[in-house]
Amino acid sequence: AQTVTQSQPEMSVQEAETVTLSCTYDTSESDYYLFWYKQPPSRQMILVIRQEAYKQQNATENRFSVNFQKAAKSFSLKISDSQLGDAAMYFCALFGNEKLTFGTGTRLTIIP
């Protein structure tokens, strides 16, 4: 079985500041992928960033970057220069054994 744990139900950050969302996981698969999804109030699931487990280099997408620590099974998301539009639920997810397993989410609030 694979599990994803997000230990921060809520986080807040001042606009333009940096925030890091935590995620740990467990899997017996050797080939897997990790993701961060954003879910705004519209409920649409939006892919923010992905990381292939076999790649050592941390993924980056504009203001979003990850810190992937494979041995520690940790996959945190850093959002730089936070914007009001970043306010949403953020879900960490793992793809292995042909299915996505999601964490329980972190609600991110941006303080103007």
Q: Which residues bind other proteins (CB under 8 A)?
A: 4, 31, 33, 42-45, 47, 50, 52, 91, 93, 95, 98-105
Give the integer Cα–Cα distance in Å for 61 and 28: 28
Residue nearer to other proteins on the CB measure, 80 or 100: 100
Closest distance to other proteins from the beta carbon of 81 (Å): 26
Q: Which candidate, 90, 69, 94, 102, places its Cα nearest to that of 20? A: 90
Q: What are phi and psi of 65, to 5 degrees?
A: -145, 160
Instruction: Pick the closer one to other proteins by CB: 38 or 86.
Output: 38
Min dist CB 45 to other proteins, Å, is 4
Residue type, 97: N
